Chains A and B, each alone.
Chain A
Amino acid sequence: MSLPKMKTTEPLTAPDPPAGSWVSRLAWNFRHHPKRELWFAWWVMVIFYQLYGVLFFFVTRVQPPPSPAWDTPTVTQWFSDRHLGILAGFGVVFLITGMCAPMNALLAYSMRRMSVSRLFAYSYLIIYSLSAIPGMLVMAIAMTVAALRPDRDPELIHWLYDFAFLSFSGTMGVFMIGSLVWMVAILLDKNCVFPKWFGYLSLCNALTEVVVAPAWIFHRGAFAWNGAIAWWINMVVFVTYTGVFIVLLRKMIQREDFGAGPLPDLPDKGVADHSDAAEAVR
């Protein structure tokens, strides 16, 4: 896809935002903000991650993960404790899965803004688009089917339990390669879209996908799917990484000048407040 002509009829300096309630400001930003597409994608990402956390940890309560070492009766009991939570919670997950798309689009866009080839943006887009299927949806489907019929043969429920957790934690290659693609793009980038240390952090994140691989082998211990290393430490790295890139993407959008050269740094505080009139809601 070639660089678009500026086909917008909006002037680069939009009309001043109304100083009223946040509702009217939101409406104004929705209609006129020059970077609304980027902010839309960013907010979808933030809301998605909040919902994801709430749904997986509090509604369905499938995270933190239970043990692969449990016997079948314990597993069946675990499911019946969570019957409604799983069915309803994953129902919401099914409803909102599509929120991943603008999120991936924003990250692909960040690579498009870099000085590297478009190859990185497109590769990343495809890799992460399909990542949600083994990495989240298969778990949701397996858990839902397991909770669907409490009178199902317990051995089958136990199999679905394995299927769900292994697919969630153990399908790591996608995220690993995706992180590496982003990392290489960041390290080669001459437009300073992201700081280099974030590229190195992406390497840490990619390596956590290597660290989780033993989950396919062990039923107990630090390397099982609920283990101290394969889950807890990995989760800390993942949450840190995600928090960091959410903040960095915010900075990127604020700095964006829709050019093709190096992304300018944010101006100093005083100047920023003045030119931030158009960034009212943030």
Chain B
Amino acid sequence: MRRTDGELILFWTLPALAIIWASAFFLFPGFLHPMSPTMSAEEVAGFYRDETARIRYSMILFNWFGVGLIPVVILVAMQVRRMAHRTPILSYSLIACAGGPPTLFLIANMFWLLGSFRPERAPELTQLLNDLAWLTFTILVAYLIAQCLLLALAIYWDRQARPVFKPWVAHFNVLIAVALAPAAFTALASTGPLAWDGLLSFWVKNIAIAAWIIVMGIVLGQTIRQQRAQDRVAA
């Protein structure tokens, strides 16, 4: 008998997490609208001086809940385990990916917090911290792309009468992976869609992540409910 106590509790942290992340996102003055890489050192220092409070509180909020998505990713990995695969390779791969994005995000978060800790610091140093933060935040797509593609592959290979996830979920994940890919190259441009405040590296990337969370959240919820129903019938 599978032990399922507590799974739904952790699952339902997802909407709460989404609300918290969205609030912190809007609270941070550097996201709407996003800071440009072309800002001079003085402008960046000015930003940290003028908006210190909002930067600090939003980033503290992010720091508290940075790893909040991991239980959900693990729930997805557990669903992959139920698929018609011969080996646990794909669920292992997903678990291997799970820690990456939060770690990178927390590093970026740390750099933002450091920048706001002593706003009177030399502007070049503040700009350095800001660069490190923005770059790390943008390139955390590294693991997310792998996560999406691995999940898509797992679904394609799940050939059974009632697959765990429907095929469109796989297509969706491939789409998200493609949407996230440009952000990896953000350092190549300081203006335009590829720059870290641009259409591709900021808007498309973050909207894609939000879309993934919402869609996978719903799909996961339905799948867990189906699974529980099946378990009850089998019992």
Contacts and interface: CB of A to CB of B under 8 A. Distances in A.
Are A and B in direct contact (Cβ within 8 Å)? Answer: yes
Interface of A: 1, 4, 6-10, 34-38, 40-41, 87-88, 90-92, 94-102, 104-106, 108-109, 112, 125-126, 128-130, 132-133, 137, 140-142, 144-145, 147-149, 152-153, 156, 160, 258
Interface in B90-106: 90-97, 99-100, 103-104
9 contacts: A4-B81, A37-B85, A38-B89, A98-B144, A102-B150, A105-B92, A109-B87, A145-B135, A149-B131
B214 interface: no
Interface of B: 37, 81-97, 99-100, 103-104, 107, 124-125, 127-128, 131-132, 135-136, 139, 141-147, 149-150, 153, 157, 159-161, 181, 184-188
A9 B84 contact: yes
Given A94-B184, A98-B145, A130 B99 contact: yes
Contacts, number: 150
Nearest to A6: B86
Given A7-B160, A97-B146, A104 B96 contact: yes
| B107, B128, B159, B187 interface centre (most CB from chain A within 10 Å) | B187
A280 B89 CA distance: 21
Most chain B beta carbons < 10 A, residue from A6, A90, A95, A96 = A95
Contact of B146 (A6, A98, A141): A98
Contact of A102 (B86, B89, B107): B89
Contacts of B124: 152-153, 156
A97 B100 contact: yes
A92 B124 CA distance: 28
A41 to B, nearest CB: 5
Nearest to A42: B89
Contact of B159 (A1, A10, A100, A145): A10
B146 A101 contact: yes
Contacts of A94: 139, 141-142, 184-185
Given A94-B139, A97-B100, A105-B92, 12 more contacts: A7-B160, A8-B85, A96-B142, A97-B146, A99-B146, A101-B150, A102-B150, A105-B93, A125-B96, A140-B139, A148-B131, A152-B124
Could you say which of B82, B90, B125 has the most chain A C-beta atoms within 10 Å of its C-beta?
A: B90
B187 A90 contact: yes
Contacts of A90: 187
Contact of A98 (B91, B127, B142): B142
B103 A144 contact: no
Contact of B96 (A4, A40, A129, A133): A129
B108 to A, nearest CB: 9
A148 B187 contact: yes
